[in-house]
Structure 1
Amino acid sequence: MAFAFRWLLRIFSGLVVLLALALVTGYWFASRSLPDYDRTLKVAGVSAPVEIVRNNANVPHIFAETDADVFFGLGFAHAQDRLWQMTMLRRTAQGRLSEIFGQRTVRIDELLRRLDLYNLSVQSVRAQDPQTLAALEAYAAGVNAWLAEVNEGALGRGAPEMFLFSNQLAPWQPADSIAVIKLMALQLAGHLEEEVLRARSSLILPNERLQDILPDSPGAGIAAMPEYAELFPTVPRYTAGLDLPHDPLMPAQPRGFAGASNAWAAAPSRSAAGGTLLANDPHLGFSAPTIWYLARLELQSGGVIGGTIPGMPVVLAGRSEGFAWGITSSYLDDQDVYIEQLNPDDPSQVLTPEGYAPMTSRSSIITVNDADPVTVQLQWTQNGPVLPRHLFDLGTITPPGHVTSLAWTALSPADTSLSAALALMQAKTVEEGLAAGEGFIAPSQNLTMIDGENIALKTIGAMPKRDARHQTQGRIPTPGWETVNRWQGRMNYSSNPEFVAPAGGILGNTNNKTVERPFPLHVSHHYGDTQRVQRWRFLMQNREVHTRESFIEAQLDEVSPTARALLPLVAADLWFTGESAPEGTPARRRQEALLLLAEWNGEMNEHRPEPLIYSAWMRALQDRLIRDELGPLAQEYTHVEPLFIERVYRDIFGASAWCDVLQSAPTETCTDIARLALDDALVWIDEAHGGTLESLRWGDAHEATHDHQVLGTVPVLNWVVNIRQSTSGGDNTLLRGRTLGSGAEPFLNVHGAGYRGVYDLADPDSSVFITSTGQSGHPLSRHYDDLGVLWRRGEYILMSLDPALARAASVGITTLAPEN
C-alpha cells in the first residue's frame, strides 16, 4: 500500500511539475511579443526621427517632421499593439479565414469572395487623392517596419495567437486599409436582412398586421406596398430558414446589430462656458480587444486626437485644436435585394430590361485548413453580386428558376471614403468638414461637427438614386429586370440631410429618423432608434445651458423611456388588483413583481432587480403575441419592438387582434396575455437566476461580453482572453447595452459604446475620452483591459494635445530613426 502511494505521489508531483513547466514555457513564448515601448529603433521608410510617446493610458502621441512620417508612426503603433486584430480584419476582407480555421469559416469566406470587397479595394487605390495615397503608403511602411522588427528580433511572431494559428504574414498594402473600411461598411449594413425578413413576414401576415410587427418610424405614413406573393407567386407561403448560429468572425451582423451610436452638440448660446460642446459614442459589437484604438497625430495642419481603427491611417472620431466631430449610423437605405430570373435555356443568363444577358462569372478557390479546397463560382448581374440561397435565408424568398443579387453602395471600385475621412481629420471649420464629407461612399454616417462658433449635422455616404415608381420603394426584394426598380446612379451630395446652426442651439442623433421626405428622397424607411431620442430630447431641453459634465451625464444615462411608456399600458389592468395571494403561489410572486415595478422609475441600473423583471416580461409578452401568427418565423424577432407592443395595447388600427390566440377556442384579451407572459417571465427568472425577486441583479444578466473572437470559447484560455463586466443600461437607454436576444442568456450586453468622447472647445484640453477595453491586444499586457475598468464605472481619461502632459507620465518613448 505504501509502495503504491509513493508512486502515485511521484506521478502526481511529476504531472504538477510538467504542467508548471508547460505554463512557464507558454508564458515565456507569449510574452516575447509584448512590445518594449522605450526603445530606439533604426527602420527603413522614415525621412527623420519619429517619436511615439505613450502616455500612462498607453495612448500613442506621434511626433515627426512630415505627415508621411506621422502616418508611418501610426502604422508602427497599430501593428505593435493590434497585429492579430489587423491580420484578422485583412483575412476576413480577403475571404481567407478558412486557411487558418478550416470548415468553420467557409461560409464567411464565401460571402466575402462573392461580394469581392478586397478586389474592389485594390481598384479603389487608384481613386484616392495624392495626399491620401501618400498616407496609405507611409502607414503600410510603418506596419511592415514592425513586421521586420518581429522577424529580426524573434519577438514571438508579433502576437501570441500566431503560435496557435501559425501562418505567414504578407506585407501590408494600401488596399488593405481600404478593405478595412469596406469591412466596416458590411458590419454596419442592415437593410438586406430587413428586406428579407419583411418579405418572409408578408407571406404570412396581412398588410395591416405587417405594419404592427415591423412598424415604420414615427412620421407621415408610407403608402401600402404590393404583396410579396403578388410579385413572386411561386414563393412558398412559409419556408424555414437555416437557423445557422452566428459566428463572431462573421462581419455581416444579424438583424438588429447593424450599428448604432449617439452624438449631440451644443452651440455657444447653449453652453455654460460659451464654447461649443460635442459628445459622441459609436456603438459596435463588443470584442477583446475593442475595435477602437486611441491615438494622437501631430500633423503639419496641427494636432488631432481620438478614436482610430487599426488598419486605417485616420482618426475617425475625435478633435483637433478648434474642431471636433462624431459619427452615428445614419441607417440610410444603401442596399437593395433583387430577384433575378434565370434563362430556362441557359442558366448563365438573367433577364434584363433588354432581354436575357449573361452574368459575369469567374471561379474562386477557397483553401481550407485540413480539408479539400472549395471552388466557388462568383457571379454578378447588372445589379450586383449573386448571393447563394443559404446566406441570409435568401432561399426562403427566392422563387424556383431565380437567383438573388445585391445592389450596395460599398461595392464601388472607386471608393474615396478614406480620402474623405483624411480630409475631415484635417478640417478646421464646420464648413470644411461639410465639404470633406462629399467624397464619403460607405458606410453612410451622420456626421456631427463643431468648431469655435458653429454646430452642424450632415448625412455622409452615397445615397442611391431610385425611380419614384419603384415597385416596393426598396422595402422588400424586387424584380431585377424591371427598369423602375434599378438604381440610376447616386443622388447629389446636396440631397443628403443637413442641419447647420439650428435656432435652438442643440442638435444630435441617436440613429433616429432625421427627416420626413417623400420617396425617393426619404433616406430610409427603417431606423435604428425610436426610443432613445425621446430621453435625449428631454435631457437636452431640461437645461438652458450645458456643460461637459451634463453631456457626460446624458451619455451615461440609464433611464429607459420605453419601460416608462410600456409598463403603464401593459399592466393597466393588473396593478393592485384582487386580494393578497397565499405565500409561495404563482399569484403571490406575480403580485410581488408588480409591486416592485410599480415603484420603479425605469432606471436600468445593474444593481436593481426591476430591469430584469421588466425585460423578461416584455420578451415573454412579445413571444406570446406573435408565436401563433408567425410560427417558427417568430424566432427571427429576437428583440422587443416597443412600437409593436404599444400598437397592440393601444389597439391602433385593430392591433389588439394579436392578443387572441388563433389556435384556442376562447377569445383572449390583452390583459390575459400580459398576465400569462408575466408568469412565463417569472418561471424563466426562477430557473435562470433563482432566489427572491428582491435579490436579483440586472448586471448579473447584463454582463458586457468583450470576448476574444477566436479564443473566447476555448476552455481555460477564455478566462485569460475574455473581459466580462456587470453593466447598467439596456436596448433603449442612452447608455446603450444591446442585448443578445437569444439563447440561454438573452440579456448579455453584446453591442454598445466601444468609444466615448466628450469635447469642450471652450477648454479643449479638458475634453475626455475612453474605450471599453484597453490599447493593447495582447492578453498578457496590463493595457489589455485597464481602460475597461474605467469604462464600466463611467469614467474617462483626459484628451489633451499638450505634449508635456503626454511625456510627464509616459510608459515609454519609442524613437524610430532612419536606417541610414
Structure 2
Amino acid sequence: MCCLLHLPNGWVQGVNNGSDMAMLFRWLLRLFVIAVAAVGLGVATVYYLASRSLPDYDAEYTLAGLEAPVEIVRDNASVPHVFGETDADVFFGLGFAHAQDRLWQMTMMRRTAQGRLSELFGERTLKIDELIRRLDLYGLAQKSVAAQDPETRAALDAYARGVNAWITTVNAKAMGRGAPEFFLFDPEVAYWQPADSLALVKLMGLQLSAHLEEEVLRARLSLLIDGNRVRDLMPDAPGAGVMAIDYAAIAPGVTRSSAPLTRMAEGPLSPFPARALAGASNAWAATPRRAAAGGSLLANDPHLGFTAPSPWYLARIELSSGAVIGGTIPGIPTVLAGRSDMLGWAITSSYLDDQDVFLERLNPENPDEYLTPEGYKPFETRRTIIKVADSDPVTITLRWTENGPVLPGGHYDLASITPPGHVTSLGWTLLSGADTSMSAAIGIMRAQDVDQAIEAGRLFIAPSQNLTVVDHERIAIQMIGAMPRRQAANQGMGRLPVPGWRAENRWQGWLNYAANPRVLDPEGGILGNTNNKLVDRPFPLHVSYHWGDTQRIQRWKRLMESREVHTRESFIEAQLDAVSFTARSLLPLIGRDLWFTGDPAPAGSPERRRQRALELLAEWNGEMNEHLPEPLIYAAWLRRLQDRLIRDELGPLADTFTHVEPLFVERVFRNVDGAGQWCDIRQSSATETCTEIARRALDEALLWLDETYGGQLEALRWGEAHQAFHMHQVLGETPLLKWIVNIRQPTSGGDNTLNRGLTRGTAPDPFVNVHGAGYRGVYDFADPESSVFIIATGQSGHPLSRHYDDLGELWRRGEYIPMTLDPDLARAAAVGTSRLIPAHD
C-alpha cells in the first residue's frame, strides 16, 4: 500500500513497511499525549486560579477597623453566625461574610445601580446604563446616606469596613481576585461605601416595579379596542372598581398602534422586569389561640427572579438588642425576613401604585422648557459620561422635571403613547434623596414586639411592602412605604399617563403613614397576604388598581379555614401547596361542552388524542405536580386559548400578554358584560363560539406537545417543562461554562399556586420556572428553635464550592434546615470558624 503524507524533517513520502508505520504511530501518539497534557495543564491552571478565591472558613484574620475580636461560625449548611462585643463589630462581620461568599454578586449589583455595566460588557448594556443614569439611583442613594438615623449610619459604616477588609485580604494574599469571574473582567474592585448598600435597596425597588408598564399597556389598549374590552383584559381585582378611561381624550394626537410592546433593556443583566415578573410573595400568621402548640406562627416566602447564586443569603447576627436570623441580600446590612427570640417579620410585595407617567408639554419656542401650572420652566439638566468597553464613551444629557426624570421614548414604548411635542417623565416614591428605608429595616430587625416593628416601618419609603409581624402574643400586617397623595380629580386615577402641567394630576406629596392599610390582632386569629387586593377604598385611597394575585388567595383561604388550629407543619404544607385554584375553576368553564363528547375515534387520530386529554383533565384534581402530565396539558391549552381569543383584536400586541390572565378567561366564558364576543374571530365571516375556540386551542396545544415532547400523553411530565432555572447572570449563556454555573431543577407548582413557580411565558421554553420563592421560612414561637428556613441554591457564589448548590435539592424537595439561635448548635458540626482579630497600630 502507499499513502502520500506531508511529514516533517524530510520523512519519505511513501510509507511501505511496518517499521515506518510504527514510527508514524509513535509520533502521532506523542502528539496526542502532548495535546492532552497541554489541555490538562490548562484545565489545572484554570482550576488552580479559580480555586484560589475559595475562602477558608476556618482561619484567623488580623484586620483594621475592629474594636474587639469577632467570630464567624459557619454551621453545617454554611450559614454564618456572627458574634462580636459591639453591634458595629457584628455588622463588620456580616459584611466580611457577605464578601467572602458573594463578592462578585455584590459588585455586579453595585455596577448595575451605578449605571456602569457597559464598562465591562460594552454596547450590549449601554441602554441599561443609560436608563439607570436617568433615574439617578446611585446619586439619590448617596444623598440618602445623610438621612439615616445614627444607629443606621454606624451599621452602614461598619458593614462597609467589613466588606473592604475582605477585599484588602484578597489583594494582600493574592486570593484569586476574590471570585473566578474577576479573571474575565477588569480585576479592580472599588471599596464598598455606605451609599452602595442604599443603592441596592433602590435596585430591589426597580426589580419589583410594574405600574409604569401597566399604565403604558392600558393606554395602548384603550387606543386600540373598546373600553369595556380593556376591562376584560386588565380587569379590576374582585370588589368595587371604576370604568375604563379613554386615553385618547387625555392625550389627543397619539397614533394608535398594534405593534408589540417592546422593552428597551433585555437579557440576564437587565434589572428591568417584564410586567409579569415584577415581584410577588406569600406570608401568613396565626395567633397563639389558633396554633396547636400555643405560640404564634409565621410563614414567609418572598419571590424574586431565580439566579445562580440566589439573591438570598442566610445569616445570623448577634446584636445588643438580641440575636436575629433569616434572609439577607448580600450588600445590605440587615435581615430582611426572619426572626429573633421576641419577633418574627415577613415581607410581601404590596403592589402599591407608587409610579405615575406624566406627559410633559415642550415649549414650541424653546424645547429646553416644559409647561407647568405656573407656565414654562427650564428642565433641570446635567451631563453624564458612560464608559463603554471596546468603544468610545457616550455622553448623555439627563433632564428632570418637577414631576420626575424624563425617560427615553424607547423604554416600555413610551414614545407610542406620547403626543407630538411632548416627552414623558416618571413620578416614583423610590426617587427620593432622603430615603430612610434602610433605617426602617434595621429598626424592624431590632424591634421587640409588634408595636415597635410597626412604628419602625414609619420610616420606610420604597419599595413598598406588606410587613407581617408576630410576637409571642400578637400578629399584624402593616403596609409600609410612602403612598403618593393624588387628588380625586386626577385624570388618569393612577391608571394612565396624564398631563403633567395640570395641577389636579400632580402629586401633593405623600399621605400620612396612618393611611397605609393595617390589620392588628384579627378576630379570626389568622391573617395573610399573597399579593392580593388589600382594601376596597375609593380613589385616591385605593392603594392600587393592579394587584399581583387574585388566585392564590382563594386556595390560601381554603387551607386556613380547613383547620381550627395550625401547626408549623400545616404552615409548611400550605407554603408547598401546588393545587391550582385557577385550574379547578377554569377547566369546568372552558371544557363544559367538551367533556365526554364526540364520536368514537380511532387510536392515533387527533380526535382520539383530544378525547384522551379531556379524560385526563376531567379526573385531575388541579395539583401542579412535577410528576404528572395533566399540568402540562392544562398549561399548554390555556396558553393557546388566550392567544386565540386576543390575537385577532390585538395583532402583534397580543405578544405582550405572555401569561394567562385568569380573570379575563373567566369573564369571556361567563360572558361578563358581553366579554364572550372575544370568541368570535373578527376577520372571519362565520360567528365562532367559545366552545369552538376552546376545542381548536386544545388541538393546537396537543399538536405543540407532540412536536415538542412526543410520546403518549400519559408519559408527559410537568417537571420536565417546569424546571427551575437558576441562571448565572454573566456566565449563564457561555458555552461549556453554563453547564457548571447554571442550576436546573424539575419543580412542582405554577403561575397561580401557593408554591408559586412563575413560568417564563415566552418561546422556546414557555413553562420554564424563572421566578419564585428563593427564600422560605416558617417560625413557631411556641418553640422558636424549631423554626426552619431554606434558600433555592446554596450560600456560596463560587461555582467550585460545595456550598454553591447544596441547599438546592433540599429546596426542590420542599425541605428546610434548622433556624437556630443556639450558639452550641451552630458550632456543632460547623464547617469552619473564622476569627477576626483587631489590628493594632
The TM-score with structure 2 as length reference comes to: 0.97
Q: 2:212–2:357: 8 Å Cα contact kept in structure 1?
A: yes
* AA partner of residue 218 (structure 2): R
Pick one of 505, 515, 537 that aligns with 1:495.
Answer: 515
1:281 aligns with 2:321: no
* AA partner of residue 355 (structure 2): Q
1:566 aligns with 2:586: yes
Which residue of structure 2 lines up, in the alignment, with residue 336 of structure 1? Answer: 356
SS in 1 for 2:119: helix
Pick one of 241, 249, 254 that aligns with 1:230.
Answer: 249
**By how many angstroms is 1:399 displaced?**
1.5
CA RMSD of aligned residues (A): 1.0
Using the alignment, how far apart are the partners of 2:682 and 2:144 within structure 1?
Answer: 55
Using the alignment, how far apart are the partners of 2:512 and 2:251 within structure 1?
Answer: 33
SS in 2 for 1:405: strand
Which residue of structure 2 lines up, in the alignment, with residue 765 of structure 1? Answer: 785
Which residue of structure 2 lines up, in the alignment, with residue 268 of structure 1? Answer: 288
The aligned runs of 1:159-558 (5 Å cut-off) are: 159-225=179-245, 227-238=246-257, 240=259, 241-242=261-262, 246-558=266-578
**By how many angstroms is 1:8 displaced?**
4.2
Higher Rg: 2
**By how many angstroms is 1:687 displaced?**
1.2
Which residue of structure 2 lines up, in the alignment, with residue 775 of structure 1? Answer: 795
Which residue of structure 1 lines up, in the alignment, with residue 602 of structure 2? Answer: 582
Question: Could you report, residue by residue, the CA deviation over 1:362-418 in whole angstroms, capped at 9, with x for unpaired residues?
Answer: 111110000111111100011000000111111111112111100000000000000
Q: 2:355–2:429: 8 Å Cα contact kept in structure 1?
A: yes
**By how many angstroms is 1:502 displaced?**
0.2
1:693 aligns with 2:730: no
Which residue of structure 2 lines up, in the alignment, with residue 25 of structure 1? Answer: 45
1:16 aligns with 2:36: yes
Using the alignment, how far apart are the partners of 1:12 and 1:745 within structure 2?
Answer: 41
Using the alignment, how far apart are the partners of 1:28 and 1:255 within structure 2?
Answer: 43
The aligned runs of 1:730-741 (5 Å cut-off) are: 730-741=750-761
Question: Could you report, residue by residue, the CA deviation over 1:296-352 in whole angstroms, capped at 9, with x for unpaired residues?
Answer: 010011100000000011000000002100000000000000111111111111111
* AA partner of residue 269 (structure 1): R
Question: Could you report, residue by residue, the CA deviation over 1:410-452 in whole angstroms, capped at 9, with x for unpaired residues?
Answer: 0000000000000000001000011000000000000000001
**By how many angstroms is 1:247 displaced?**
1.3
**By how many angstroms is 1:491 displaced?**
0.3
**By how many angstroms is 1:14 displaced?**
2.6
1:54 aligns with 2:74: yes
Question: Could you report, residue by residue, the CA deviation over 1:15-61 in whole angstroms, capped at 9, with x for unpaired residues?
Answer: 22221111111000000000000011100011110000000000000
SS in 1 for 2:40: helix
1:615 aligns with 2:635: yes
Q: 1:239–1:396: 8 Å Cα contact kept in structure 2?
A: no
SS in 2 for 1:621: helix
**By how many angstroms is 1:244 displaced?**
5.5
**By how many angstroms is 1:154 displaced?**
0.2
Using the alignment, how far apart are the partners of 1:650 and 1:391 within structure 2?
Answer: 36
* AA partner of residue 478 (structure 1): V
SS in 1 for 2:50: helix
SS in 1 for 2:277: coil
Pick one of 802, 815, 820 that aligns with 2:835.
Answer: 815
1:111 aligns with 2:159: no
Question: Could you report, residue by residue, the CA deviation over 1:653-685 in whole angstroms, capped at 9, with x for unpaired residues?
Answer: 000000000011110000000000001101111
SS in 2 for 1:221: coil
Count of residue correspondences = 819
Question: Could you report, residue by residue, the CA deviation over 1:568-602 in whole angstroms, capped at 9, with x for unpaired residues?
Answer: 00000000012221122111110111011011000
Using the alignment, how far apart are the partners of 1:243 and 1:326 within structure 2?
Answer: 32
Question: Could you report, residue by residue, the CA deviation over 1:680-734 in whole angstroms, capped at 9, with x for unpaired residues?
Answer: 1011111111111000000000000001001000010001000000000000000
SS in 1 for 2:37: helix
* AA partner of residue 90 (structure 2): V
Q: 2:111–2:117: 8 Å Cα contact kept in structure 1?
A: yes
**By how many angstroms is 1:5 displaced?**
5.0
1:600 aligns with 2:620: yes
Q: Which moved more, 1:699-708 or 1:237-246?
A: 237-246
1:633 aligns with 2:662: no
Q: 2:623–2:631: 8 Å Cα contact kept in structure 1?
A: yes
SS in 2 for 1:196: helix
Using the alignment, how far apart are the partners of 1:141 and 1:258 within structure 2?
Answer: 33
Using the alignment, how far apart are the partners of 2:387 and 2:28 within structure 1?
Answer: 47
Q: 2:128–2:265: 8 Å Cα contact kept in structure 1?
A: no
Pick one of 734, 740, 747 that aligns with 1:714.
Answer: 734
Using the alignment, how far apart are the partners of 1:440 and 1:779 within structure 2?
Answer: 36
Using the alignment, how far apart are the partners of 1:325 and 1:317 within structure 2?
Answer: 6
Q: 2:231–2:244: 8 Å Cα contact kept in structure 1?
A: no
Q: 2:750–2:758: 8 Å Cα contact kept in structure 1?
A: yes
- Consecutive unaligned residues in structure 1, runs of 5 or more: none
SS in 2 for 1:256: helix
Q: 1:29–1:160: 8 Å Cα contact kept in structure 2?
A: yes
Question: Could you report, residue by residue, the CA deviation over 1:608-628 in whole angstroms, capped at 9, with x for unpaired residues?
Answer: 000000000000000000000
Pick one of 665, 671, 696 that aligns with 2:685.
Answer: 665
* AA partner of residue 168 (structure 1): E
**By how many angstroms is 1:7 displaced?**
4.4
Q: 1:199–1:476: 8 Å Cα contact kept in structure 2?
A: yes
* AA partner of residue 30 (structure 1): A
Using the alignment, how far apart are the partners of 1:743 and 1:103 within structure 2?
Answer: 25
Using the alignment, how far apart are the partners of 1:191 and 1:733 within structure 2?
Answer: 23
Cα distance change of structure 1 residues 509 and 50 upon mapping to structure 2, 3 Å threshold: same
Using the alignment, how far apart are the partners of 1:615 and 1:645 within structure 2?
Answer: 13
The TM-score with structure 1 as length reference comes to: 0.99
Using the alignment, how far apart are the partners of 2:329 and 2:291 within structure 1?
Answer: 31
Using the alignment, how far apart are the partners of 2:773 and 2:142 within structure 1?
Answer: 31
Using the alignment, how far apart are the partners of 1:23 and 1:412 within structure 2?
Answer: 49
Q: 1:280–1:327: 8 Å Cα contact kept in structure 2?
A: yes
Cα distance change of structure 1 residues 377 and 234 upon mapping to structure 2, 3 Å threshold: same
Cα distance change of structure 1 residues 580 and 245 upon mapping to structure 2, 3 Å threshold: farther
**By how many angstroms is 1:166 displaced?**
2.2
Cα distance change of structure 1 residues 244 and 126 upon mapping to structure 2, 3 Å threshold: closer
Using the alignment, how far apart are the partners of 1:243 and 1:258 within structure 2?
Answer: 14
Which residue of structure 2 lines up, in the alignment, with residue 679 of structure 1? Answer: 699
Identity among equivalent pairs (%):
67
* AA partner of residue 615 (structure 1): A
